[in-house]
Amino acid sequence: MTRAASYAIHALVHMATRKENRPLPSHLTAQEEGIPERFLLKVLKPLVSRGVLRSVKGPNGGYQLAKAPKDITLLEIVEAVDGPIQATISFEGKDTSGLETQLEEICTNAADAVRRQFQKVRLSDLAGK
């Protein structure tokens, strides 16, 4: 998992644990979670694009969850920020033994298992709600 995905998870858990679902300015989330604000803004943008967060402009603006925490999966968060979880393997050279095919299958199975596990975990689980 990348640092960006980790920051996104921390920010969303922070939002989910708040009593009210009012827009929260990014600088407060950054300060309270110890995340550099400029980096946090880059992380939040794809979450807005994917419908996980809502961005509210104006003096009382900020970011808020676009859905209930129980309706947001860990997979949704991670893939919004990092892109699809997939098997990546690169082999430079001639593979006459079929090892490359075996390794590709193992990596694909591992990626599928991670995706299934992340799909089971809800933001509400992480936020203790």
- 93-116: per-residue pLDDT in tens? 666 677 888 888 898 999 999 999
What's the pTM?
0.87
Structure tokens at 64: 């808020």
**Overall domain count for the chain:** 1
Q: What is the pLDDT of residue 43?
A: 95
pLDDT in tens, 6-40: 999 999 999 999 888 789 999 999 999 999 999 99
Inter-axis angle of helices 37-49 and 26-33, nearest 10: 120
Which residue range(s) make up the domain with 61? 3-126
Distance between CA atoms of residues 61 and 58, nearest Å: 5
Q: What is the SS3 assignment for 24?
A: strand
Q: Where are the beta strands (DSSP E) in 1-129?
A: 53-56, 62-65
- The CATH number of the domain holding residue 15 is 1.10.10.10
Structure tokens at 82: 């990092």
- Please check whether residue 29 is in contact with residue 11, taking contact to mean a CB–CB distance below 8 angstroms: yes
Bridge pairing between strands 62-65 and 53-56: antiparallel
